[in-house]
Amino acid sequence: MRRRRHQTHHNHSSKKGYRRLLDKLAAHEDVHRVATGRVKPRMGTGRPVATISKIREIESGLSITINTEGAVIDAYVVTSDPAGVAAWLRDEGLAL
């Protein structure tokens, strides 16, 4: 069985909207892998300001926080160029 080069590991059941975001991120040429981490229920009534609210550089690439209508999701992006991928996210309007 062949594996895709850019693979998204969906750890939890999720809505299609943020899965599409993770798959789009995984398709970027500098991204090696995307994995979801902790999923927390979203408190409060307001809508999210941005799809990706936080981007932090870590040893293996990036740690991002995704805001959806009902949850806050931590995800990890394995990349050799974290600054380039973070700039791409901002250029695409996905992050602040």
pTM (two decimals): 0.77
Mean pLDDT along residues 56-66: 94
The mean predicted confidence, pLDDT, of the chain is 82
**pLDDT computed for residue 20 by the predictor:** 84
Q: Are 64 and 93 contacting, i.e. CB atoms less than 8 angstroms apart?
A: no
DSSP 42-83: PPSSSPPS-SEEEEEEETTEEEEEEE-SSEEEEEEEEES-HH
Judged against a pLDDT cut of 70, whether residue 40 lies above it is answered with yes
**Average of per-residue pLDDT across 79-92:** 94
Q: What is the pLDDT of residue 79?
A: 94
